[in-house]
Chains A and B, each alone.
Chain A
Amino acid sequence: MYTQALDTHGKEPLPAGAGSSAALAQRFQERIDVEEKIEPKSWMPDAYRQTLIRQISQHAHSEIVGMLPEGNWITRAPTLRRKAVLIAKVQDEGGHGMYLYSAAETLGIARAEMIEQLLSGAARYSSIFNYPTLTWADVGAIGWLVDGAAIMNQIPICRCSYGPYARAMVRICKEESFHQRQGFEIMLTLAQGSAAQRAMAQDALQRWWWPSIMMFGPSDADSKHTAQSMRWKIKRFSNDELRQKFIDITVPQAQFLGLTIPDPALRWDEAAQHYLIGPIDWNEFHAVLAGHGPCNHERLEARRAAHEAGRWVREAAAAHAAKERSRQPQAA
């Protein structure tokens, strides 16, 4: 599903072109400037490699952890059609995680190492998945808002300078748009349903609106790595630009649904031709990123429990594969 605030963590990238690699670095930047794709065997600055490993692996982790809040409703989906669609969606997310781990592996890190980083808490995933899914409407709100925000963020990554990441995103964006429409359709059905269903939809919007807005990461003023990421064309738009696009598209959708966005300061600015929102609660954002959101504990525990409980299965698979290999010469 999605990644965020990827420029807020980790080390400051080294200035490109230091020492003997100056010529390589210059050539690299020239390739970026003419929109040539960087491929796994291309030379790249170490900071570029590390930034991408961090971003792509966090993106992959987000897909995997993101299976949990929605997976929470698979057994309780209200119709068989909704159940089938939800299973397919969560399955797609697992698939996205797989593409992204593969893309990250082209940069020289193993999936097992990335998963270790996730389970130890060293790597992050999108803050949005630390919020609980309390009603069926939350499944609709996630599709509509969370996938909507994800798409807004991910479409520019389809033109990312690193080829494997850009190509993974093309496939992922197609599926995400589909999920987003399905989420909106759930909200629409609820909004046109009984009073209890409309209340359920409004309550979900209430709880998911601000967390979705926060998916775009810190404001540009606080975003340290944006400039370098933009020079490298890993990033094409700033956090605030993307956030604004999302708000401008989403507010009319909420109006269409007849739902109220939980922001008394929200207004249309005729001069700017944009919707302006009230202040974002950055304290909450930072608390969630630091591990103190509503479900951080549960999400990581669930991942760790699955990993631990599955250990004997992975060991059995490895042992069986080894037996098969040792049998092969005898059979030949």
Chain B
Amino acid sequence: MLRLGDTSLVLGQRLGEWVGHAPALEEDLGLANLALDLIGQARLFLTYAGELEGRGRDEDALAFLRDAPEFTNLTLAEQPNGDFGHTVVRQWLIDCWQLEIYEALLASTDARLAAIAAKALKETRYHHRFSSGWLMRLGDGTDESHARVQRSLDSLWRFTSELFAPDDVDERMRAAGIAPALAEPSSRWSSRVDEDLAAATLVRPAAAPYPWHGRRGVHTEHLSHMLSEMQHLQRTYPGARW
């Protein structure tokens, strides 16, 4: 729960940085819309995670009062925005991942989790239309745009190994029927990625990605910078209501 919420939160935070700075007004609105959906997902997941934990932590305690090693987002989500194409590639890889994960969670034995996934899935379908549409426009646009997104893809690919790598938490969840086995969504993710890349005339990187473990709290150097910005009011004025 926390892992799903953290990935949405961290990615939403990154997209929030774009607002007012996008290549066109329509993209400003599009990115803000995505950010808003993702923050909304984060709130649902974190609230539920706090309730399950039973220690009285609400969405804000979880978002603003944990430090980087306690964050469990995918390292892909915390990567800097770069140019618009870089943001699109990051978004598209995560959209493809969320599509499979949410789809699989519809069958969860945890009814509330299944309900959150159902809501998030609708939003994610829209996100994927946006990101795959731009991947295609940029990949199959000009020589410059093609070269730029291929470079972004090559650089972000190294964070994809953790998308479907199961650990013991996933195993326990699967055994309880709460979360799916990851093998099937993983292969569906892979075919969707190939299909979208072909449409965008881009080449899937061959390099074997380094196994990052953001979901176990081992992050890249970017996350703590993000958190220091995101959390500064809550840290400066402990206990205040906003």
Contact = CB atoms under 8 A, between A and B. Distances in A.
Contacts of B241: 189, 193
A310 B26 CA distance: 12
A84 B39 contact: yes
Interface in A270-325: 302, 305-307, 309-317, 319-321, 323
* Secondary structure class of chain B's binding surface, majority of residues: helix
Given A75-B230, A87-B16, A306 B22 contact: yes
Contact of B145 (A74, A193, A309, A313): A313
B59 A196 contact: no
A95 interface: yes
Contacts of B137: 316-317, 320-321
Interface in B192-242: 226, 229-230, 232-234, 237, 240-242
A197 B29 contact: no
Interface in B48-102: 59-60, 63-64, 83-85
A83 interface: yes
Contacts of A316: 137-138, 141-142, 144-145
A109 B3 CA distance: 49
A90 interface: yes
Contact of B29 (A80, A83, A94): A94
B166 interface: no
B185 to A, nearest CB: 27
A79 B23 CA distance: 28
Nearest to A299: B20
Contacts of B22: 306, 310
A310 B24 contact: yes
Interface in B9-39: 9, 13, 16-17, 19-29, 32-33, 35-36, 39
Interface string B130-151: 0000001110111011001000
B127 interface: no
Contacts of B21: 71, 302, 305-306, 309
Interface of B: 9, 13, 16-17, 19-29, 32-33, 35-36, 39-40, 42-43, 46, 59-60, 63-64, 83-85, 136-138, 140-142, 144-145, 148, 226, 229-230, 232-234, 237, 240-242
Nearest 9 A/B pairs, CB to CB: A310-B23, A316-B141, A316-B145, A313-B23, A78-B242, A91-B32, A71-B20, A78-B233, A67-B20
19 contacts: A64-B25, A67-B20, A75-B17, A76-B233, A79-B242, A80-B42, A80-B46, A87-B36, A87-B39, A91-B32, A94-B25, A98-B25, A190-B242, A306-B22, A309-B23, A310-B27, A312-B145, A313-B27, A317-B137
